[in-house]
Chain A
Amino acid sequence: MILLPLRTLMYKEIYRFLRLWRQTLIPTVISSSLFMMIFGKVLGDRIGSVQNIDYPSFIFPGLMMLSMIISSFQNTASSFYGEKFQKSIEEILVSPLSNVEVIIGFLTGGVVRGCICGVLVTIVGIIITGTPIAHPVIFLMTMLLVTTFFAAIGMINGMLAKTFDHITVFPDFILTPLIFLSGIFYSTDQLPEILRPIHAYNPIVYFVDAARYSILNLSEFTPVGTFVVIIAMLVVVLSALGYLFNRGLGFRE
């Protein structure tokens, strides 16, 4: 049983983006569908297949990740920053919610929004590419891990942001490049020699690999190794979030 105060915050965070579904859910689904259609139906024949998988199917898991990462990140970053900006965060801070509850409440919004976007893109992907899900349970687990991870990063970003620009700098200048360099559109052996060693230091590579494994049964690393890395990263990010939130960094003097 989740206690009422936390339930209220979770409800508020979910309602916030559902109310704005045209802006929060639809755009990412449209752009992912366009990628799959254009690369699949229009350019697919020229590109051919990657690792014996037709190109639209190969990019499908990565596009799903792209959508989940951006939407879970954006949700917590803009929600927390927005509350801080309007000072309505004070309403939550003076109430008897514990720090852990506040964190869970905000993360829930990001996780749910990320998962809804992921599911929508997956449905579109299955329709366009005809690819079934190879490992459904691992697929669900991957969705939860990736959305929690990026919701936490978004929340840290929202806490530290002092202006609205600060919550767009990170996704535009760091997140998006890392996502596009994470092998959504190519496999590692197609990378130029010099880029290959750095490739493994891009955290998003592991999320894309997990998605590709759960959908296509195809992986660059061993699946167990991939999940160990993901869970380790998640522990680090959640600890950082907990630490920063307890210190009240960016919102409590």
Chain B
Amino acid sequence: MSTALNIKKLSKVYTDGFKALDRVSFDVQEGDFFSLLGPNGAGKTSLINILTQLNRIDEGHIEVFGLDLRKEPVNIKRMIGLVPQEFNFNMFLTVQQILFYSAGYYGLSPKAQAPRINMILKKLNLFEKRHVMARFLSGGMKRRLMIARALIHQPKILLLDEPTAGVDVETRQETWAFLKQLNQEGLTIILTTHYLEEAERLCNQAAVLHLGQLRFSGSMNALLKTFNEEYIQFFFSKPMTKLDLPKYFKWLNESSACVTVTQRRTLQKVFSECEKRSIKVDRIDVLESRLERTLTGLSKGKKL
């Protein structure tokens, strides 16, 4: 097993003088499912954009599978697949056209293109939509299209920047399952999220960023020991009375209720309890996350 990514003392100062990253260092091993955690504004996207060379590297060092980002930028680009935080494809092209162009940019031979594209489209459940213009896809499909595009050239590292932000519960579960499978097939995955549950479900390794500084880097288990609970709001598809819900729910109105998720009462358990009682959950929202609570504590001087 080799080191997939090695980041040393990476700093980023934007042109307006804002310091988004401050001497961040950590490693990701080949085959890891790695989460880069941090609340909004922590610097996650800034870091991802430097890795993909959308932003310039100013200070510090990055090595991807032993290659120096400054010396071999193009070879590194070939090894990375990016699923960005915001949709960034041409909305007026069809699903298939978007993938054909990407395949071409990465130099996939014309003969190999069609089979590869069809295979990925089928894998991501987009094959039926291949002739549809991107702007007519649902939000979940657009996200899947970005994953398909990132995988087209068989990257060695997949970077996902908040892949499930603003996504419905079903799509989120599907995405998780798909990513898990990719990782089991040997792909190194780095995922940013401000949602601890996501990292907990998927990742074996984690780093925590806060205000541009690294607060933690290590195994997911070690990280979880330091976090306690998370306050989550559930939204229901059908009206619910107080009595329909498990006792630990705090009923707010017919369509929503809150629940505190802990290490013993995991989100998964809450979900299966809901399923048992035929409670249809439309979506959930993290009101106050363990991560945020802990990080708020951290910025007040507590040690992780």
Interface residues of A (CB under 8 A from B): 3-5, 7-9, 11-12, 83, 86-88, 90-98, 248, 252-253
Give the complex CA separation of A96 and B73 in angstroms.
8
Contact of B101 among A12, A93, A248 (CB under 8 A): A12
Segment among B50-58, B261-269, B273-281, B295-303 that sits at the interface with chain A: B50-58
Is A248 a contact partner of B56 (Cβ separation < 8 A)? yes
Nearest Cβ in chain A — how far from B84, in angstroms?
7
Give the complex CA separation of A93 and B106 in angstroms.
11
Chain B contacts of A12 at CB under 8 A? Answer: 101
Is A5 a contact partner of B80 (Cβ separation < 8 A)? no
Chain A contacts of B82 at CB under 8 A? Answer: 90, 94
Nearest Cβ in chain B — how far from A8, in angstroms?
3
Chain A contacts of B110 at CB under 8 A? Answer: 4
Chain A contacts of B80 at CB under 8 A? Answer: 94
Contact of B15 among A9, A91, A253 (CB under 8 A): A253
Give the complex CA separation of A68 and B216 in angstroms.
58
Contact of A3 among B15, B56, B100, B107 (CB under 8 A): B107
Of residues 59 through 86 on chain B, the ones whose CB sits less than 8 Å from some CB of chain A are 74-75, 77-78, 80, 82, 84, 86
Contact of B88 among A3, A88, A252 (CB under 8 A): A88
Chain B contacts of A96 at CB under 8 A? Answer: 74-75, 77-78, 105-107
Query: What 9 pairs across the A-B complex have the smallest Cβ distances?
Result: A8-B104, A87-B88, A95-B105, A88-B90, A96-B77, A94-B52, A253-B55, A90-B88, A96-B74
Nearest Cβ in chain A — how far from B227, in angstroms?
32
Query: What mask results when residues 89 to 118 of chain B are scored 1 for a CB within 8 Å of chain A, else 0?
Result: 111000000001110111111100000000
Contact of B109 among A4, A90, A253 (CB under 8 A): A4
Can you sample 8 A-B contacts with CB below 8 Å? A4-B107, A5-B107, A11-B104, A86-B91, A93-B53, A95-B105, A98-B74, A253-B56
Give the complex CA separation of A87 and B161 in angstroms.
15
When C-beta atoms are compared, the residue in chain A nearest to B20 turns out to be: A253
Nearest Cβ in chain A — how far from B120, in angstroms?
16
Chain B contacts of A93 at CB under 8 A? Answer: 53-54
B149 at interface, CB cutoff 8 A: yes
Contact of A5 among B15, B52, B105, B149 (CB under 8 A): B105
Give the complex CA separation of A86 and B75 in angstroms.
26
Nearest Cβ in chain B — how far from A12, in angstroms?
6
Give the complex CA separation of A86 and B102 in angstroms.
16
Give the complex CA separation of A3 and B74 in angstroms.
15
Contact of A91 among B49, B74, B105, B108 (CB under 8 A): B105
Q: A94-B54, A96-B74, A253-B14 are in contact. Are A5 and B104 (CB under 8 A)?
A: yes
Is A5 a contact partner of B14 (Cβ separation < 8 A)? no
Is B53 a contact partner of A94 (Cβ separation < 8 A)? yes
Give the complex CA separation of A200 and B131 in angstroms.
53
Contact of A92 among B49, B86, B105 (CB under 8 A): B105
Chain A contacts of B56 at CB under 8 A? Answer: 248, 252-253
When C-beta atoms are compared, the residue in chain B nearest to A247 turns out to be: B56
| Most B CB within 10 A of own CB, among A7, A90, A95 | A95
B178 at interface, CB cutoff 8 A: no
When C-beta atoms are compared, the residue in chain A nearest to B108 turns out to be: A4
Give the complex CA separation of A9 and B100 in angstroms.
11
Chain A contacts of B101 at CB under 8 A? Answer: 8, 12, 91
Chain B contacts of A92 at CB under 8 A? Answer: 105
Q: A7-B104, A94-B52, A95-B102 are in contact. Are A87 and B87 (CB under 8 A)?
A: yes
When C-beta atoms are compared, the residue in chain A nearest to B15 turns out to be: A253
When C-beta atoms are compared, the residue in chain B nearest to A82 turns out to be: B90
Chain A contacts of B109 at CB under 8 A? Answer: 4
Give the complex CA separation of A9 and B104 in angstroms.
8
Is A88 a contact partner of B106 (Cβ separation < 8 A)? no
Give the complex CA separation of A8 and B86 in angstroms.
24
Nearest Cβ in chain B — how far from A195, in angstroms?
42
Chain B contacts of A95 at CB under 8 A? Answer: 77, 102, 105-106
Q: A94-B77, A248-B56, A253-B56 are in contact. Are A8 and B90 (CB under 8 A)?
A: no
Nearest Cβ in chain A — how far from B297, in angstroms?
32
Chain A contacts of B75 at CB under 8 A? Answer: 96
Q: In the complex, given contacts A8-B105, A9-B104, A252-B56, what are 14 additional A-B residue pairs having Cβ atoms less than 8 angstroms apart? A: A4-B107, A5-B107, A83-B90, A86-B90, A86-B91, A90-B84, A91-B89, A91-B101, A93-B54, A94-B52, A96-B105, A252-B55, A253-B14, A253-B15
Give the complex CA separation of A170 and B62 in angstroms.
40
